Amino acid sequence: MDGSSFMEGLFISLEPMNILWIIIGGFLGTIVGMLPGLGPATAVAVLIPVTFGMEPVSAIILMAAIYYGAMYGGSRSSILINTPGDGSAIAATFDGYPMAQKGQAGEALAISAVASFIGGLIAVVGFIFLAEPLANFALEFGPAEYFLLMLLTLSAIVALSIGKMVKGFLAMMLGLTLSTIGIDTQTGVYRFTMGIPHLSEGIDFLIVIIGVYAIGEVLYNLLTIDQEKKEKKKVGKVWFTKEQWKRSKWPILRSGPIGFLIGVLPGAGGSIASMISYTTEKQISKKPEEFGEGAPEGLAAPESANNAASVGAMIPLLTMGIPGSGTTAVMLGALIMLGLRPGPLLFEQQPETAWALVNSMFIGNIALIIINILLVGLLVKILDTPAKVLYPIIVLLAFIGTYTLSYSTIDFFLLLIFGFFGLFLKVMDFPLAPLVLALIVGGEMEQNFRKALLSSDGSLDIFFSSGVSIVLVILTVVSLLYPLIFKFFKRRNLANKTDKISKSS
Amino acid sequence: MKKFGMIAILLLLLIMTACSSGASSGDEYPSKNLEIVAPASPGGGWDLTARSVENVLSGQKLVEENINVVNKPGGGGEVGWKYLESKDSHSLAINSSLVLTNNLLGQSEMTYEGFTPIATLATEWQSLAVPPDSEYESAKELLEAIKEDPASIKIGVGPGLGNDDHLSLVQAASEFGIDPSQMNFLVYEGGGDVVTALLGGHVDAVTTSLSEVKDQYLADKLNILAVSSDKPVEGIEDVPTWTDQGIDLVFPHWRGIMGPPDMTEEEIAYWDEKLSEMVETEEWQKVLENNDWEGFYKNSEETKAFMDEQHNLYKSLIEDSGLVK
């Protein structure tokens, strides 16, 4: 690290105009993150014409603020209406929504904001000291390692589906099947596109998220609307309790670094980071049975991880010019237009720009926690909104969000299909996350598996050939066997207890 | 309430017909807002080309009418160009060699002849790169090794076979007497992923746009064995071209702009005038520089001849590559 450029960057990021951009970007990001379908990638893309007239350094600061701002925002709708705004906010529905249903919406919103904040800070500090070595570490990840990382992510489905394992796996298989739709990159063959050019790039997982969660949720509530109790839902306090903080503290601190590391890997990103941190916490928790029922740590962990991942994703972008996610890809395009070329020469030729961005992320996270805590009081009012007002708005937003994905009305049909499909899954009590998760990682997982085998001439040894891959294999196996281990210990505990009881008697 | 809805719809229809009849009534072209279709998502190469053209034409007041950039992503340009097919002459679309290869690869029914060529705007060059510690120090050495055992050299390419990255190396290999269908290509998601794979040592060589590897080369992170330009490229003059190494190959990765079928001569002449002015502006030069593009302007007539010539080239390359049987 180079001290004087760091200070110079700090001063640039503290210029009033840039602070204003940080706040605007963070606020915009929070809003688009909240709305289903409208993600940071869309927001950054829409802003490209605006950035034409800006200083390149302000442009990159603004775009980054939108990106991590969306990580804060994404979980708002997960918690309040069980509808994730983006792939990385799916994990926030697992415990965030149950918390809201228990009347702890305010606490849930507050703790997720704090978790995002701490995760972000951990990642920015990591960025300052570890950018270079981590960029090199990310290069170690070849097709075999990526395949195994995605396999590990899918093994999370086991942890998620305890109690309804068969349904969880069925949903996952469906997701994997859907992910094969589209052009096969290795051979250029079209699979299951039914002659529709629109399908050649596959089904956008965001449509499926919006469909099964947002539309599905609305339809489901329409079915049950008559049974709904008329009593007003409680929203709880706007700050969390000491007990909740005590339970979340360590998960937040553990998940930040996990998310950061995964974010550094090009192509992995927030969805995988939040999923892996969620299952990690569930598996090491002393009370895993509370996960999914509104455990604060089950919300705090993925929130810390996905925000850290968004900061981590800046590392390959800035040090190698390689976008690690959809949003950073759009950022790269926009920055090149402005004559700022992120890449190996950026830290040599324009170190102050790079450090201005890093410092702006510090300021941005501080601004965002203030924005989001202030918003808690306002957002919980959504729960008071009568269904006849709220549901049409959700449906409208779902359609708008879907349209912005590829400006095509064909997606509306897909949205409705998946909406009804989501309703079906809900009625049949299938978990939704395995379906979406498998769709998110499925395509890449398959391509990486085949690339790995192509480069090893078909030998499976490649999956055990590096330290990283062996660690990933072990983690996956542990994760898969975890329910058995869990049962075993539970039984032993039970046996011990009965032993004691029988002894004492 | 229903009645009101009907009236509103009728009114809307009326206005719409009024507008469209206004457009076709022999007024001076352009008679309404113009539209540039980017057949890709915002932020991609085609989108940036469209926005740059819009930015310079409007910013320099070369065109008075509003120009809107419309994104129609999907199917490697297919969706956007299909959309263009249905529009009148106030819409143009960005294109590249995909407008030829989609059809040649059997992925599309549309042909380039179904559109009106307007201009070729800019080009990038292709490059062949290896890790800095690679045992191959020249393109010839690498090609020799491929000739000996085509499957032994893993070559990264993205995002799909049949694109310029892939076909430029297919052409070089063919020139060298290698059967390209035997070569071992690993297909990555995009140019960035290809470079990551090379830096991490997961492939032996990559073929990609020069802009993806130029900075890495300047930072000594990799070595470029050949570029597909006709003369050395500014900033990296020490990198040899294919022709320098005795392989007869100049391969532009061009971007152009085209209109819907059946544009009139006046309409084409309008764009010839405006775009030839545009490419002379300082702002356009800045766009080229920022994107590492090279000026490659050809007017409508030259572009028509160029497309025919490119069509024949791609046809034979795709046959050589073994992608289509």
Average pLDDT, stretch A193-210? 86
Average pLDDT, stretch B81-103? 93
Nearest residue to B90 via CA among B274, B272, B267, B279: B267
pLDDT at position B251: 95
Query: Are A407 and B216 an interchain contact pair (Cβ–Cβ within 8 Å)?
Result: no
Q: Are residues B222 and B292 in the same domain?
A: no
A/B interface, count of CB pairs below 8 Å: 148
Q: Does residue B276 belong to any structural domain of this protein? A: yes
pLDDT at position A227: 59
Q: Does residue B1 belong to any structural domain of this protein? A: no
Q: Are residues B286 and B235 in the same domain?
A: no
**Minimum distance, in Å, between the CA of residue B265 and any CA atom of chain A:** 32
DSSP string, A444-502: HHHHHHHHHHHHTTT-GGGGGSSHHHHHHHHHHHHHHHHHHHHHHHHHHHHHHHHHHHH
Could you say which of B245, B264, B284 is where a domain stops?
B245
Residues 171-210 of B with CB under 8 A from A: 184, 186-190, 192-193, 195-197, 199-203
Most A CBs within 10 A among B215, B217, B288, B323, hence the mutation to make, goes to B215
- Rounded Cα gap, residues A385 and A387, in angstroms: 6
Which residue of chain B is at minimal alpha-carbon distance from A338?
B290
Domain count, chain B: 2
**Minimum distance, in Å, between the CA of residue B209 and any CA atom of chain A:** 14
The DSSP code for B241 is: B
Please provide residue B127's backbone torsions phi and psi, each rounded to the nearest 5 degrees.
-140, 155
CA A283 to each of CA A60, A115, A256, A268, A299: distance values in angstroms, whole numbers, following the listed order? 38, 19, 17, 22, 14
- Rounded Cα gap, residues A98 and A118, in angstroms: 23
- Rounded Cα gap, residues A371 and A379, in angstroms: 12
Q: How many CB atoms lie within 10 A of CB B97?
A: 24
Q: How confident is the model over A435-465, as pLDDT tens digits?
A: 999 998 998 899 999 999 988 888 999 999 8
Is the pLDDT score of B2 beyond 60? no
Q: How confident is the model over B111-152, as pLDDT tens digits?
A: 999 999 999 999 999 999 999 999 999 999 999 999 999 989
Q: Dihedral, CA atoms, A87, A93, A95, A98, nearest 10 degrees?
A: 180
Kindly state whether B255 is in contact with chain A, defined as any CB-CB distance less than 8 angstroms.
Answer: no
Which residue of chain B is at minimal alpha-carbon distance from A197?
B75
Nearest residue to A299 via CA among A144, A479, A104, A482: A104
- Rounded Cα gap, residues B115 and B260, in angstroms: 5
Q: How confident is the model over B160-212, as pLDDT tens digits?
A: 888 999 999 999 999 999 999 999 999 988 777 898 899 989 999 999 999 88
Share of chain A above pLDDT 70, in %: 95
Average pLDDT, chain A: 87
Average pLDDT, stretch B269-279? 95
Query: In the numeric block, which tokens belong to residue B220?
Result: 């000594």
Which has the higher per-residue pLDDT, A378 or A485?
A378
Q: Are residues B65 and B165 in the same domain?
A: no
Which residue of chain B is at minimal alpha-carbon distance from A137?
B200
- Rounded Cα gap, residues B186 and B161, in angstroms: 9
Q: Which of B187, B192, B201 sits opposite A266 (nearest CB)?
A: B192
Q: How far is CA A444 from the centre of its chain?
A: 17
Q: How many CB atoms lie within 10 A of CB B247?
A: 18
Query: Are A341 and B48 an interchain contact pair (Cβ–Cβ within 8 Å)?
Result: no
Q: Does residue A230 belong to any structural domain of this protein? A: no
Nearest residue to B195 via CA among B185, B208, B184: B208
Average pLDDT, stretch A18-32? 93
- Rounded Cα gap, residues B156 and B152, in angstroms: 13
Residues of B in contact with A201 (CB under 8 A): 73-75
**Minimum distance, in Å, between the CA of residue A117 and any CA atom of chain B:** 28
Which residue of chain B is at minimal alpha-carbon distance from A330?
B43
pTM value is: 0.84
H helix runs in A186-241, sequence order: 205-209, 216-224
The CATH number of residue B139's host domain is 3.40.190.10
Residues of A in contact with B71 (CB under 8 A): 407
Residues of B in contact with A52 (CB under 8 A): 55
Q: Are residues B60 and B73 in the same domain?
A: yes
Average pLDDT, stretch A314-327? 84
Q: Which of B52, B78, B200 sits opposite A140 (nearest CB)?
A: B200
Q: Are residues B237 and B157 in the same domain?
A: yes
Is the pLDDT score of A236 beyond 80? no
Q: Are residues B143 and B98 in the same domain?
A: no
The DSSP code for B298 is: E
Query: Are B219 and A344 an interchain contact pair (Cβ–Cβ within 8 Å)?
Result: yes
- Rounded Cα gap, residues A293 and A101, in angstroms: 10
- Rounded Cα gap, residues B168 and B118, in angstroms: 25
pLDDT at position A198: 80
- Rounded Cα gap, residues A409 and A130, in angstroms: 45
- Rounded Cα gap, residues A134 and A262, in angstroms: 10
Which residue of chain A is at minimal alpha-carbon distance from B163?
A188
Is the pLDDT score of B100 beyond 50? yes
Domain count, chain A: 1
Q: How confident is the model over B299-312, as pLDDT tens digits?
A: 999 999 999 999 99
Q: Does residue B197 belong to any structural domain of this protein? A: yes
Domain residues for A484? Answer: 3-225+237-496
Q: How confident is the model over A109-151, as pLDDT tens digits?
A: 999 999 999 999 999 999 999 988 888 888 888 899 999 999 9
Which residue of chain B is at minimal alpha-carbon distance from A341?
B290
- Rounded Cα gap, residues A415 and A205, in angstroms: 11
Is the pLDDT score of A345 beyond 90? no
Which residue of chain B is at minimal alpha-carbon distance from A265?
B196
Query: Are B215 and A345 an interchain contact pair (Cβ–Cβ within 8 Å)?
Result: yes
**Minimum distance, in Å, between the CA of residue B42 and any CA atom of chain A:** 5
Q: Does residue B10 belong to any structural domain of this protein? A: no
Q: Does residue B268 belong to any structural domain of this protein? A: yes
| pLDDT confidence tier of residue A19, bands split at 50, 70 and 90 | very high
Average pLDDT, stretch B259-273? 95
Q: Are residues B50 and B131 in the same domain?
A: no
pLDDT at position B33: 92
| A222-236, A349-363, B2-16, range with the lowest pLDDT | B2-16
Average pLDDT, stretch A77-98? 90
For chain B, what is the radius of gyration of the CA atoms? 22
Is the pLDDT score of A232 beyond 80? no
| A328-332, A364-368, A424-428, range with the lowest pLDDT | A328-332
Q: Does residue A502 belong to any structural domain of this protein? A: no
Tell me the residue type at B237.
Answer: E
Q: Which of B79, B203, B290 sits opposite A337 (nearest CB)?
A: B290
Q: Does residue B21 belong to any structural domain of this protein? A: no
Q: Are residues B44 and B154 in the same domain?
A: no
Q: Which of B159, B195, B202 sits opposite A185 (nearest CB)?
A: B159
Q: Are residues B229 and B259 in the same domain?
A: no
Q: Does residue B306 belong to any structural domain of this protein? A: yes
Residues of B in contact with A323 (CB under 8 A): 192
Which has the higher per-residue pLDDT, A3 or A90?
A90
Q: Which of B48, B184, B323 sits opposite A337 (nearest CB)?
A: B48
Tell me the residue type at B197.
Answer: A
User: Is-cis flag, bond preceding A483, omega within 30?
Assistant: no
Q: Are residues B270 and B159 in the same domain?
A: no
Most B CBs within 10 A among A47, A184, A186, hence the mutation to make, goes to A186
pLDDT at position B316: 92
Q: Which of A44, A139, A183 sits opposite B196 (nearest CB)?
A: A139
Query: Are A333 and B43 an interchain contact pair (Cβ–Cβ within 8 Å)?
Result: yes
Could you say which of B245, B272, B294 is where a domain stops?
B245
Is the pLDDT score of A22 beyond 50? yes
Q: Does residue B203 belong to any structural domain of this protein? A: yes
Kindly state whether B60 is in contact with chain A, defined as any CB-CB distance less than 8 angstroms.
Answer: no
Please provide residue B34's backbone torsions phi and psi, each rounded to the nearest 5 degrees.
-100, 160
pLDDT at position A145: 92
Tell me the residue type at B271.
Answer: W
Half-sphere exposure at residue A375, Cβ-oriented, CA atoms within 13 angstroms: 25
Q: Which of A201, A334, A455 sits opposite B43 (nearest CB)?
A: A334
Residues of A in contact with B74 (CB under 8 A): 197-198, 200-201, 406, 408
Q: Are residues B209 and B293 in the same domain?
A: no
Q: Does residue A324 belong to any structural domain of this protein? A: yes
For chain A, what is the radius of gyration of the CA atoms? 22
Angle (CA) A33-A38-A42 rounded to 5° is: 105
Q: Are residues B107 and B135 in the same domain?
A: no
- Rounded Cα gap, residues A118 and A354, in angstroms: 22
Is the pLDDT score of B4 beyond 60? no
Query: Are A200 and B107 an interchain contact pair (Cβ–Cβ within 8 Å)?
Result: yes
The CATH number of residue B55's host domain is 3.40.190.150
Domain residues for B91? Answer: 33-123+253-321
Is the pLDDT score of A308 beyond 60? yes
Q: How confident is the model over B31-86, as pLDDT tens digits?
A: 999 999 999 887 778 888 999 999 999 999 999 999 999 888 887 888 899 999 99
ipTM of the complex: 0.79
Query: Are B78 and A200 an interchain contact pair (Cβ–Cβ within 8 Å)?
Result: yes
